Amino acid sequence: MSTPSDNMPPGGTWPDLAGRIEGQVHKLPIRVYYEDTDFSGIVYHANYLRFAERGRSDFLRLAGVHHTSLFEGEDPVAFAIRRMEMDFLKPARIDDRLEVHTRYVRASGARIDARQVIWQLAGTGAPQALWQADVFAAVLDTRGRPRRLPVYVRDALAPFVSVPGAGEGA
């Protein structure tokens, strides 16, 4: 029986599985599958939030912050989304190739905020922005009370935190 190990170099195989950090922006490729669309022919609106969460998770992963260590470490902490503001600019469709761009605009105190844009990669021509959002999250302890971001998380993200306005968008 064929197994995954057949063609795998030790230590890795799918180099882009978690996307890439370029400058202060994390970029994650997403393919639109059947599961993402609805009968009107376009991507169901709530699914952009799934795509965006994948981007935030993989940005943390590449920055060295893992959900399991956050949750199960000596000093357990969770992120809870408090507010989202989002614009739906253009619809995505089946088979589209998308790219989720994530910037962390704040990672300090008891807050971690992101600005995200989902782009459609056209076969030719310029990419188009489909969806953009501001995401505001709180840092919580295991009892759900606000607490400060652990120092190792703050330090891991510090090189990537950009000030909005100084730059512009995700």
Active site amino acids? 38
Interface characters, 113-132, with a second copy (x: CB under 8 A): ----x-x-x----xx-----
Figure out which of the listed residues 75, 76, 95, 155 binds a second copy, where binding follows CB under 8 A.
95
Q: Is 14 in the site for a second copy (CB under 8 A)?
A: yes
Q: Is 145 in the site for a second copy (CB under 8 A)?
A: no
Task: List b or e across 9-25, with b for residues whose CB sees 16 or more CB atoms inside 10 angstroms.
Answer: eeeeeeeeebbebeebb
Give Cα separations from 91 to 83, 130, 134, 169 (angstroms).
Answer: 23, 6, 19, 19
| Token pair of 129 as six digits | 């922005």
Q: Is 74 in the site for a second copy (CB under 8 A)?
A: no
Figure out which of the listed residues 40, 74, 159, 166 binds a second copy, where binding follows CB under 8 A.
40
Q: C-beta of 9: minimal distance to a second copy in Å?
A: 12
The contacts of residue 60 (CB under 8 Å, 6+ apart) are 66, 67, 157
Per DSSP, helices labelled H in the chain are 47-62, 67-72, 151-157
Q: How is residue 141 annotated by DSSP?
A: -
| Interacting residues with a second copy (CB under 8 A) | 1-8, 13-18, 22-23, 25, 27, 29, 31, 33-35, 37-42, 44-47, 49-50, 53-54, 57-58, 61, 66-68, 71, 78, 80-88, 91, 93-95, 97, 99, 101, 117, 119, 121, 126-127, 144, 168-170
